[in-house]
Chain A
Amino acid sequence: MFITVLLDCIRKINSERSISSIYHLLTGKRSAQTLQDAHLYQLENYFGIYKTITRDELASVIKQLERQKCIESNQNAETAQISVVGKGLLDDASIFLELTGFNGMKYENISSHLEQRLLLLIQTITNIEARNNRFVAIVEDVGTQQFVKEIYNTMKNRRREWLRGLFKEIHSFLRTIPQNQASIFVDRLTGYDQFGLSKEQLAQKYQVSKHDIAVTLQLIIHKLLTFLLNETKNSLYLSTLIKDYVEQTFITNSAAETLNLFQRGYNLEQIMSIRKLKESTIHDHLVEIAYADADFNIEPFVTKDSFVEIARVIDELDSRKLKVIKQHLNENYSYFQIRLVMAAMQSHHKRGSELS
């Protein structure tokens, strides 16, 4: 599973970004560059799905892929390209379908909360139901403990009902996902007198790598989120665990400030002087905004006609190398304009596929 995620990233990036950009993507780094790359290469679904991986771990998996001839990297191993063998692995349709279950950009800020809250809630209710008030919480995060405590206080006299309700909802969710994922999910749960398995133990039991387990657990949680958001009425108990969830719009704070000024009618020069920022920085912000918001009006920077021309060249070349695109446009447009068009195309495309 992890390997297919990586191969998918490498294929889409196609040597145009470094391996470390994949690291930033998987760990969900909130920088303009990472967000933009995620949009640019259509890797939004993997944003932040593996926050605990280290650079060394990623490097060693990349090496392994190289040894297996799935990828070829350049001399100093900064970038990599997928090979025929690697493409073959991705061709399997069922594997590919699984990957579409990820929705990192949308769920990144809630998924780990949901997981931790659910684990702790089940541990809490079952222990107290078993008359054991003295148990060591498997989740140490104070915020999570607080959240679960609040929920628990509202329902402590209806523990049975809640256990039953949670059980039914989890059960019907698990029936919508592959058997072995359901089984991994259940093995991870901690109840009264039975502790869940660690990631290493799961890896051993299911004969996969620790990384596979880490991303599979995320995948399951993403699927659960999709399930809850679609079936809120049929999952009233579980839905309380995400009651504070609001969909995030993904722009950095600094870009948000620029957007604010822009919407109030300031032009580029004015924003530069108010914010004491370089032009290129404001450009970065505008591109970032165009990726995040399909309704963002880019006409002040690119006319309709120019848009059509640039878009045509991008489509024809099927590359994201700015320099090449610029040359093909006979140097008539700036990098900024090209990036802006790319962003707008992408966010329109994304909205189109969400509506369909």
Chain B
Amino acid sequence: MNQLETLLEKHFSLSTFRKGQKEIIQDLLAGNDVLGVLPTGSGKSLCYQLPAKLLDGVVIVVSPLISLMIDQVKQLRANGFKEVVALNSFLDRSMKKKVLNNLQQYKLIYLSPEMLQNKFLIERLSRLHVSLFVVDEAHCISQWGHEFRPDYLKLASTIELLGHPTILALSATATPDVQQDIVKHLHAKKMIKHIYPMDRDNIAFAVEQFDHIDDKLNYLVDLLKNYPVPTMIYFSSRVWTEKAAEVLTSKLPHQRTAFYHGGMEQQDRILIQQQFMADQLDIVCCTSAFGMGIDKANIRLVVHFHLPTQLESFIQELGRAGRDGKSSVSLVLLAPNDDVLPKMLIDSELPDPSVIKPIIHHLQNQGQTVDNQVEVIMEHFNVNETQWRFLRYQLEKQGMIVDNQVITNVEKIEEVMKMIIDLIRRRKNYKQEKLDELLEWSVNKQCRRKGLFSSFQTTVGQPKYACCDVCDFRFTDWEPPIERKSEFSSLNWEEQLKQVMMQGD
């Protein structure tokens, strides 16, 4: 057995590397910067977790998905990797202090992007020997990416402050343009690219058209009656997840259905997620909040009851199907006016141009720090957090906000306003195009697999089972493995208590 494999076995109890992992780790250990583009679920995290065990010093991971980061830390701890910590704004103050004073004891430190702003933290980190700096979800650095994060643009200077450690940038959804952006913004010209195909050969694609949105539910009921397989159904609103779960539960009494969305209490979210992982649930009706950190091998069917706002998210979500390599399906349900919700979502991501001037005036009149006014502004001008983050970043970039204070140069205001309004228009257009791309894909009568993946890779592989409904796939031919479910429990509370608490008679 090769030496790296021995170490993999030793530290993670895994016997073989998955595609790409070994190559990336070898490059990193040799001190090369790496850009890794691998599909979701391919095991990207291992590419820095193993080096964290092997390298002297500390590995820093910047990740925007806080829930995912917390999940990973939990998972690592559960598996015996204890020298790991996640620093984010949710950590309470005393904990944060305790962690900051003991940074040297960790081998792996996760940071949320806003923590990069924390000068004290960066100063502390710069005293450590940072062996590897990981940028997770690296596409967020690209202004044209679907999840642009202004904080990510500070990464290059952070990396410099930390004495230029080796860089690993990871993403599951980076088109060639975005890849270029990543290399540019990280100032990492010699980055070695490891790009792996996004397409998944065990997933077949299908799209169904309906005249009315209620027909979607009826169709699903019939389909799931015939295929009682582990299923995720994506919706773009919380209300819909609840409504659909109710209908499915009453129409499919032999399958266990639940809903999941970001409005639920944390503990209930954990319970639903773990029930699904443990095959205690068959169907989850969810928003995009579900799935980050979901690593269930036998999901056979991912349904999009509503489409997300771009191909990249869609690919990420359907990619949760069939991690075990067995036959799985991605199904999209379409009805008239399906584009209304995603359009609203896009609109809500950017501020209305008409509020910009009043906001600047407000800040000037108040003569206070910008931080002090955030809540007032959000409330008074009806801007949400995403919109404010965008606006503030732009105002800082244009020199309108300096050191937390608005400047009072009248001519400049007009100029900057024009710029920002123009930018908003372009961004909206861009997002609209991204949405159109996905909508077009969904109605196009060409091979769906090729349509989805051709912008990410030059060739699309041969499917292992069926391809898509345009080429060869029919549900009637689908033969997914169907696992025997445990029976519904009908124990009374005393029997059930005995069972849970392992008190056999």
Residues of A near any B CB (own CB < 8 A) = 52, 122, 126, 129-130, 133-140, 142, 163-164, 166-167, 170-171, 174, 179, 182-183, 185-187, 189-201, 204
Q: Is B471 an interface residue (CB 8 A)?
A: no
Q: Is B264 an interface residue (CB 8 A)?
A: yes
- Count how many pairs of residues, one from A and one from B, have CB atoms less than 8 Å apart in the complex: 95
Given contacts A136-B274, A138-B267, A174-B493, contact A204 B249 (CB under 8 A): yes
Q: List 11 A-B contacts (CB under 8 A).
A: A126-B501, A133-B78, A134-B78, A136-B74, A136-B270, A190-B274, A195-B271, A195-B280, A198-B269, A201-B272, A204-B249
Q: Which of B210-259 contact A (CB under 8 A)?
A: 249, 258-259
A198 touches B272 (CB 8 A): yes
A106–B275 Cα distance when bound, in Å, is: 35
A130 touches B271 (CB 8 A): no
Q: Mark B474-505, 1 if CB is under 8 A from A, else 0.
A: 00000000000000000011101111111100
Q: Is B278 an interface residue (CB 8 A)?
A: yes
A333 to chain B, nearest CB (A): 43
A170–B493 Cα distance when bound, in Å, is: 12
Complex partner residue of A191 from B259, B269, B500, CB under 8 angstroms: B500
Additional 15 contacts, C-beta under 8 A, given A171-B494, A187-B493? A52-B265, A122-B501, A136-B74, A137-B78, A163-B503, A166-B501, A174-B497, A183-B493, A189-B500, A190-B271, A195-B271, A195-B278, A197-B271, A198-B264, A200-B264
Chain B residue contacts of A171, Cβ below 8 A: 494, 497
Going nearest first, the 6 A-B pairs with the smallest beta carbon separation are A198-B268, A191-B500, A183-B493, A167-B501, A186-B493, A198-B271
Complex partner residue of B280 from A137, A163, A194, CB under 8 angstroms: A194
Q: Mark B75-92, 1 if CB is under 8 A from A, else 0.
A: 100110000000000000
Chain A residue contacts of B493, Cβ below 8 A: 174, 179, 182-183, 185-187
Question: Please, which residue of chain B has its CB at the minimum distance from the CB of A190?
Answer: B271
Q: Is B266 an interface residue (CB 8 A)?
A: yes
B502 touches A126 (CB 8 A): yes
Complex partner residue of A136 from B78, B95, B272, B280, CB under 8 angstroms: B78
B75 touches A136 (CB 8 A): yes
Chain A residue contacts of B499, Cβ below 8 A: 191, 194
A122 touches B500 (CB 8 A): yes
Question: Please, which residue of chain A has its CB at the minimum distance from the CB of B95?
Answer: A142
A62 to chain B, nearest CB (A): 20
A334–B499 Cα distance when bound, in Å, is: 63
Complex partner residue of B500 from A126, A174, A199, CB under 8 angstroms: A126
A199 touches B268 (CB 8 A): yes
A239–B496 Cα distance when bound, in Å, is: 23
Chain A residue contacts of B95, Cβ below 8 A: 142
A171–B79 Cα distance when bound, in Å, is: 33
Complex partner residue of B270 from A134, A140, A182, CB under 8 angstroms: A140
A200 touches B280 (CB 8 A): no
B447 to chain A, nearest CB (A): 40
A126–B269 Cα distance when bound, in Å, is: 22
Chain A residue contacts of B492, Cβ below 8 A: 183
Given contacts A134-B79, A136-B75, A163-B502, contact A196 B271 (CB under 8 A): yes
A191 touches B502 (CB 8 A): yes
Q: Mark B264-300, 1 if CB is under 8 A from A, else 0.
A: 1111111110110010100000000000000000000
Given contacts A136-B74, A198-B258, contact A164 B497 (CB under 8 A): no
A195 touches B502 (CB 8 A): no
Question: Please, which residue of chain B has its CB at the minimum distance from the CB of A138?
Answer: B270
Q: Interface residue count for B (Cβ, 8 Å)?
A: 33
A112 to chain B, nearest CB (A): 11
Question: Please, which residue of chain A has its CB at the minimum distance from the CB of B280?
Answer: A195
Chain A residue contacts of B264, Cβ below 8 A: 198, 200
Chain B residue contacts of A122, Cβ below 8 A: 500-501
Chain A residue contacts of B265, Cβ below 8 A: 52, 199
Chain B residue contacts of A166, Cβ below 8 A: 501
A186 touches B500 (CB 8 A): yes
Question: Please, which residue of chain B has its CB at the minimum distance from the CB of A119?
Answer: B267
Question: Please, which residue of chain B has its CB at the minimum distance from the CB of A123?
Answer: B500
A192–B501 Cα distance when bound, in Å, is: 9
A295–B391 Cα distance when bound, in Å, is: 59
Question: Please, which residue of chain B has its CB at the minimum distance from the CB of A137?
Answer: B74
Question: Please, which residue of chain A has its CB at the minimum distance from the CB of B246?
Answer: A204
Question: Please, which residue of chain B has its CB at the minimum distance from the CB of A168?
Answer: B503
Chain B residue contacts of A174, Cβ below 8 A: 493, 497
A194–B278 Cα distance when bound, in Å, is: 8
A190 to chain B, nearest CB (A): 7
B83 to chain A, nearest CB (A): 17
Question: Please, which residue of chain B has its CB at the minimum distance from the CB of A129?
Answer: B502
Chain B residue contacts of A193, Cβ below 8 A: 278
A197–B493 Cα distance when bound, in Å, is: 14
A197–B271 Cα distance when bound, in Å, is: 7
Chain A residue contacts of B75, Cβ below 8 A: 136
Chain B residue contacts of A189, Cβ below 8 A: 497, 500-501
Question: Please, which residue of chain B has its CB at the minimum distance from the CB of A135?
Answer: B78
B274 touches A167 (CB 8 A): no
B70 to chain A, nearest CB (A): 8
Chain B residue contacts of A179, Cβ below 8 A: 493
A339 to chain B, nearest CB (A): 35
A166–B502 Cα distance when bound, in Å, is: 11
B503 touches A138 (CB 8 A): no
A330–B222 Cα distance when bound, in Å, is: 77
B501 touches A139 (CB 8 A): no
A19–B203 Cα distance when bound, in Å, is: 54
B87 to chain A, nearest CB (A): 14
Question: Please, which residue of chain A has its CB at the minimum distance from the CB of B501?
Answer: A167
A237 to chain B, nearest CB (A): 12
Question: Please, which residue of chain A has its CB at the minimum distance from the CB of B242?
Answer: A200
Question: Please, which residue of chain B has its CB at the minimum distance from the CB of A184?
Answer: B493
A138 touches B271 (CB 8 A): yes
A163 touches B501 (CB 8 A): yes
Chain B residue contacts of A186, Cβ below 8 A: 493, 496-497, 500
Question: Please, which residue of chain B has its CB at the minimum distance from the CB of A180?
Answer: B493
B502 touches A130 (CB 8 A): yes
Chain B residue contacts of A199, Cβ below 8 A: 265, 268
Question: Please, which residue of chain B has its CB at the minimum distance from the CB of A160?
Answer: B502
A167 to chain B, nearest CB (A): 4
Question: Please, which residue of chain A has its CB at the minimum distance from the CB of B271?
Answer: A198
Residue of B75, B259, B267, B275 with most partner-chain A CB within 10 A: B267
B228 to chain A, nearest CB (A): 19
B238 to chain A, nearest CB (A): 12
Question: Please, which residue of chain A has its CB at the minimum distance from the CB of B270?
Answer: A138
B275 touches A200 (CB 8 A): no
A170–B497 Cα distance when bound, in Å, is: 9
A200–B272 Cα distance when bound, in Å, is: 10
A174–B500 Cα distance when bound, in Å, is: 15
Question: Please, which residue of chain A has its CB at the minimum distance from the CB of B71?
Answer: A136
A140–B265 Cα distance when bound, in Å, is: 12
Question: Please, which residue of chain B has its CB at the minimum distance from the CB of A115?
Answer: B267
Given contacts A163-B501, A183-B493, contact A140 B266 (CB under 8 A): yes
Question: Please, which residue of chain B has its CB at the minimum distance from the CB of A171?
Answer: B497
A197–B258 Cα distance when bound, in Å, is: 10
A222–B258 Cα distance when bound, in Å, is: 29
A195 touches B275 (CB 8 A): yes
Chain A residue contacts of B270, Cβ below 8 A: 136, 138, 140
Chain A residue contacts of B269, Cβ below 8 A: 198
B498 touches A167 (CB 8 A): yes
Chain A residue contacts of B266, Cβ below 8 A: 140
